[in-house]
Each structure stands twice: as structure tokens, then as C-alpha cells.
Structure 1
Amino acid sequence: MRFGPVPLAEAEGAILAHSERVAEGRLRKGVTLERAHLDALAAAGLREVTVARLEAGDVHEDAAARRLALALREGAEGLEATRARMGRVNLLAERAGLVVIDRAAVDAANAVDPVITVATVAPFHGLRAGGMAATVKIIAYAVPETALARAEAAARGAMRFATPRYGTATLIVTDSVGGPGLKGVDAIAQRLDGFDMTLTETRRTAHEIDALAEAIAAAEGDVVLILTGSATSDIRDTAPEALRRAGGEVTRFGIPVDPGNLSFTGRLGTRPVVGLPGSARSPVLHGADWVLGRVICDVGLSDSEMAAMGVGGLLKEMPSRPSPRRG
């Protein structure tokens, strides 16, 4: 690609590099200059303009962005590529779900040429319908075909979109002396709504193993959530033990995300179970959001994957926490 100032007489068919004021308004950068454009520029007093001119083997920014975006989401359902404009194509969620990303592949695509860029949300980020998962931006007016082909190969299939496997949930709230009661139920319902799920029932029971086990066994939702009135401090504490007594199993206690350390996961037959710490009563970003998204969409639930939540897992402090990080 050739780039630089040229006399107006030589600019026809080239791409205008910088926006210019003309009598009719503003002639925006990126437009392919036609005779009428040149007449308007001349009438505005310009004698030369800065342009980009594609050469053999170059791919226009819009075509390049479109190709790379389609390679990035190849094989994925639920991600829509927008129309290319000014070298940019966005990937948008068609429904609620989680973005699953092969980071090494995206890094490799970005390493090909500095003018070829892919920016994504964080891995396992939850989106509602219409949310942006990634943006592909070609930051020059053209890119060499050879470089684009290498970036396409590196990025191919690097993004997929995991959608919810479940539609309903039961929330069991345990009561303890002086506890918060049903406070926070709305926040949990809002989290579920973000994944197009419905909180179909809320059960309230004593914070005791037998009573909680009975409530768990009677739960009707596709997913069972337990919000305890007293903190779960050990894998043998009240809520995990109640799940086992109800015939279920605990698969993990504790995650390296703060707030949210005291979350636990398990199963009751084929249904997932999530134990939520009291801090999940707040609607702010919480480890519960990370766990719920992965559980609901059935991705990233191995021990190693959950252990890897720690980098980036230090979330904003909640002023309402009874034991803040700074005493």
C-alpha cells in the first residue's frame, strides 16, 4: 500500500486518509475519491490530499476485517458478525451465554502484523443478547494478503459461544439467628435473568443439615442454588453436608475469586448445585457470577479451570462485607 500526500489531479480512485471540510459538510476519511469529491476539495481550497492507494496483493480494510472475523468465529453458533465499516467488524451475541476463547490463538493472530488487531472480552465472560464478544479492527487502509492469511489461519475457530443448558432454578435460603433472611433474592434472580433463566421457586429453611437436606431433595428447578444464612467454612459444613445427605455430591469447595471464595459446586443426580456465600446477596460483580455462568452453560468446571480463575479474580471490594480486606 502506498500512503502519502498527492496532488488532487492524481488522487482519483485513491482512499482519502484524513477527513476534510468541504462546502457540503465533511468528507470523511476512508472514502474512495471520485471526480465529484475532488471538485469539492478543490472548491474548498485544497491542492493536495493525503491518500492511501492499494497495490497488488493488498486487501482492503473492510474485506480484511470481515474475513478475519469470520475465521475467528468459524464453527461457532450464537455469534453474529456485523457489517464491516472503516476496517472494523464486531462479533455480537445472538442470545445470552458465555464467550469461550482460545487465548493462544488470538495472541498468535495479533502477533502477525501490528495493523491486524483482535480485541475480545475476558474468557468465560457472560453476555446478554446483543452484547459484544470481540471486535476486529484493521488499523491501516489495507493489509497484505499474505499477512491476512496467516492471521486467519491462527485465529480460525478461536472463539465459540456457550449457551445455557438449563431454564429454571430453585433457590434455597437458610435462616440463622440474626441472619439476613430473604435479603438478596432479587440479586440472585437478576443473575439468572442474565442467562435467560427463571427463578421458579424460593424455599426457606432452617440452617440445619436435616432441614436443608430435605429442601434440597424437594427442589424442582433444573439448577439448585443454596444461599446460606451462615458462612460455609469447610467442605464438611452445614450446606455441603446437607447436599450429601440429600443424595448428592460436592465437587468443589472454594474458588480463588474475592469476593466469592466460599462458593461450592456439586450435583444432585444430573442437576448442578451451587452453594452461594452470603456476599452473593449484593448485585455487584462477584465470584458467584463466574461460577453460575460456567455451571449454567456447562463449561470450564474442572478443578484446574476453576483454580485458574485467580488471575483477575480480585474483584472490587464490597463496602457491606462484614470482613473487608482492609480492617
Structure 2
Amino acid sequence: MTKHGLTSTLREVPVEEAIGMVLAHDLTQIIPGQFKGRLFRKGHRITHEDIPKLLDIGKAHIYAIELAEDEIHEDDAALRMARALQGDNTVLTDPYEGKVSIKSQIHGLAQIHKPTVDAINGLGDIALATIKTNTVVQPGQSLAATRVIPLITKQSKMEEVERLSAALRNPKSQADQAVIQVRPFIKHRVGLITTGSEVFHGRIQDKFGPVVRAKVEAFGSEIVEQRFVTDDLVKIVTEISYLRQQMCDMILLTGGMSVDPDDRTPGAIRQAGAEIIRYGTPMLPGSMLLMGYLEGIPILGLPGCVMHDPFTSFDVLLPRILAGDVIEEQDIIDMGYGGLIGC
């Protein structure tokens, strides 16, 4: 065989001597009145259990592909790729027809290194399909699948995949990572401040709190305290300071995020001493979100759309923060591409 630069050979082999060899053609089984179809596909590796089945269909000999030393079967290649790519909290499926899936073992945040994925897909003869990075995943959910296109490929392809994957790994560094991994969510004690004189005085019911609480609890964290305050900058600052003293790991503020004269929340967050990473997010819904840090803990001003829209900029950032990400301005900027969810 010379396709794809391969040098493997084709030879006739008695079935009893074919264990471990690769079938060079499909084999059909016919059971009159019951079944007619493929018993073994081209590329199947013969096992001891296959011998009686082959003899039952009258096959005393088969054509087998004998691999050259520098070649690898599709199943072995797909498994070798997947092992090189997989990281923490992932599990592999058994290879089948040149494909292996990488699945999550936990509820967490998928981390996929796109530059390496692109480099691997540029090698030819192999395919790596993944979900998007920073996707929230459940146990058993597929993260990626490796696929070898030809029946046989060069060992050198696998060596290059392993080299690209190893380039990310540095066990002595916090930057150590695999191409495909899942990070668990870290339990946070979250403080919630609901601003708005109309809510504080009971003119309208608070509908923000239950929504935010459900979103936070979905990732294993909890709202430890909810505070209500009028649209008064000084009082909002006081409540922020109070929650910080309660050792909250995150502070969320709802209400007062627009440009109306009575909306004081962004100014209060600044006056409390927070570093503002970005006020204004290139995503709809959720463009009025404020992202900042106060003495190292995340503090967010949430726009009104969080109350009624199922997916906003808050839903993009929350799981990342709860998985331990430190959000930078570039992370916010990157949200614009693909960020038009609705408006």
C-alpha cells in the first residue's frame, strides 16, 4: 500500500494465524431468512473470539494488512491521540472505527486549548473535534473526539500530536495544562446587594434575588446574605464594605446599572475601592454588566436583563469565576464575537 505514503503489505493468511492482524476488506454474513449484512468491517483487528465466526461463514483464509514499523492502525492511533490530549477529570471511550471520545467525569468547566486543536487538525489524516472552551459540562458529556481518516497512518503523526500536547504541560508551573481538561467549580460564599428604593420600601417585590440565587447554587456555591439598600451611593458603599467584612468570596449587586440619574451602583463600586475591569460588556443581553475586583475578590454589577433573560453576560462570566478564572479586560472584549444572543 502506497496511499498516504504507507508501505504496509497485503497478504493471504489462514484465519487461525490472523489473530492481531488487520482485515483488509469487509466480510459479509448471510443467514437465510434472518440476516444479511457486514460481519466485520475493513480495518477490524482479528481476535481469538473472531475465529469461530470466520469459520462459520466459510472463511478459512483472509486478506490481512501487515503494518510497517512506522505505521499505526486507526484504532491505536485514535487512542494514542486521545491519551496525549486528555487532562484532569476526563475519561476515554474504547476506540471504534478509528474514533475515541474524551468525556467529562464531573460537573465543571471545559478547558480546550484552541491553538493546539488547530495545529493538530493541520497535520492531515487525523481529525480532532471539540466543544468550545469554557463550556459548562456534566458528567459523561463529550468534550472531544479523535478520528483517524485513513485505515492506517504514520507513527510520525502521533509523535507530532504528542509533541504539541506536551508543549502545554509544565508540572512545576501553575500554567500546566492539557489540551482538553475539566476544572471543577469551587464553592464560593456570595454576598448579594439589591439596590433600588422601590424594592427597599416594598413598593415592588424583589425578583432579582431568586434568579441570582438559583444561578449561583447551580454551580455549588451559595448566597450567604442578601442586603437591601436604597439608591444612595454612601449606603451602597457601606453595604459593600459590610459584605467584605463577612469574608464573602464574591459580591454581586443588582439594580441601578443604567445611566439614569438615580442609578448609583457603578459609582458605589468604584468608591468602595474596587478595580473596575470593565463597565460595559459587548454582549446582548447583558451589555450593562460591570466586572471588577475588590481586594482580590470579584465584584459584579448585574444589569436588569439577568432577571428575565435566560442567558446573559452574567451566565458567561459566572461559571468561569466559580472555576477559579481571574477575569481580565481581554476576556470581556472577546465576548463580543458571538455575543449577540438577543436584544
TM-score (norm 2): 0.74
Deviation at 1:165, TM superposition (A): 4.3
Deviation at 1:232, TM superposition (A): 3.0
Deviation at 1:237, TM superposition (A): 5.4
- What are the superposed Cα offsets for residues 222-249 of structure 1, whole Å, 9 maximum, x if unpaired? 1111221x44349x95212222333433
Deviation at 1:80, TM superposition (A): 3.0
Deviation at 1:210, TM superposition (A): 2.7
Does structure 1 conserve the Cα–Cα contact (< 8 Å) formed by 2:81 and 2:162? Answer: yes
Which has the higher mean CA deviation after the structures are superposed, 179-188 or 132-141?
179-188
**Take 2:83 and 2:115, find their aligned partners in 1: how far apart are those partners?**
18
- RMSD of aligned alpha carbons: 3.6
Greater C-alpha Rg: 2
1:37–1:292 distance in 2 versus 1, CA, 3 Å: same
**Take 1:48 and 1:14, find their aligned partners in 2: how far apart are those partners?**
13
- What are the superposed Cα offsets for residues 100-133 of structure 1, whole Å, 9 maximum, x if unpaired? 333221111011113x111112122222344332
Q: Percent identity?
A: 24
Aligned counterpart in structure 2 of residue 272 of structure 1, from 279, 291, 298: 298
Corresponding residue number in structure 2 for 1:244: 270
**Are 1:258 and 2:268 an aligned pair?**
no
Aligned counterpart in structure 2 of residue 38 of structure 1, from 54, 77, 88: 54
Deviation at 1:274, TM superposition (A): 1.6
Corresponding residue number in structure 1 for 2:79: 66
Which has the higher mean CA deviation after the structures are superposed, 184-193 or 58-67?
184-193
Corresponding residue number in structure 2 for 1:227: 254
1:263–1:153 distance in 2 versus 1, CA, 3 Å: same
Corresponding residue number in structure 2 for 1:321: none
Q: Secondary structure at the match of 2:120?
A: helix
**Take 1:196 and 1:252, find their aligned partners in 2: how far apart are those partners?**
26
Residue 15 of structure 1 aligns to which amino acid in structure 2? Answer: L
Does structure 2 conserve the Cα–Cα contact (< 8 Å) formed by 1:170 and 1:201? Answer: yes
Does structure 2 conserve the Cα–Cα contact (< 8 Å) formed by 1:88 and 1:138? Answer: yes
**Take 1:17 and 1:207, find their aligned partners in 2: how far apart are those partners?**
76
Corresponding residue number in structure 2 for 1:214: 238
**Take 2:152 and 2:301, find their aligned partners in 1: how far apart are those partners?**
52
Q: Secondary structure at the match of 1:251?
A: strand
Deviation at 1:175, TM superposition (A): 3.0
Residue 98 of structure 2 aligns to which amino acid in structure 1? Answer: G
**Take 1:135 and 1:143, find their aligned partners in 2: how far apart are those partners?**
17
Q: Which runs of 5+ in 2 are unaligned?
A: 4-9, 169-178
Q: Secondary structure at the match of 1:310?
A: coil
Q: Which runs of 5+ in 1 are unaligned?
A: 318-323
**Are 1:143 and 2:153 an aligned pair?**
yes
Corresponding residue number in structure 2 for 1:172: 193
Aligned counterpart in structure 2 of residue 154 of structure 1, from 157, 164, 170: 164
1:185–1:283 distance in 2 versus 1, CA, 3 Å: farther
Which residues in structure 2 correspond to 1:270-309 (within 5 Å)? 270-282=296-308, 284-299=310-325, 301-309=327-335
Residue 37 of structure 1 aligns to which amino acid in structure 2? Answer: K
Corresponding residue number in structure 2 for 1:55: 67
Aligned counterpart in structure 2 of residue 163 of structure 1, from 178, 184, 205: 184
Q: Secondary structure at the match of 1:274?
A: strand
- What are the superposed Cα offsets for residues 263-301 of structure 1, whole Å, 9 maximum, x if unpaired? 111122232112211111236232111111232233362
1:80–1:14 distance in 2 versus 1, CA, 3 Å: closer
Deviation at 1:262, TM superposition (A): 1.1
Q: Secondary structure at the match of 2:335?
A: helix
Does structure 2 conserve the Cα–Cα contact (< 8 Å) formed by 1:2 and 1:54? Answer: no
Aligned counterpart in structure 2 of residue 77 of structure 1, from 88, 102, 116: 88
- What are the superposed Cα offsets for residues 16-71 of structure 1, whole Å, 9 maximum, x if unpaired? 7658554486635464344323234449xxx999x873521322223212221222
Aligned residue pairs total 306
TM-score (norm 1): 0.77
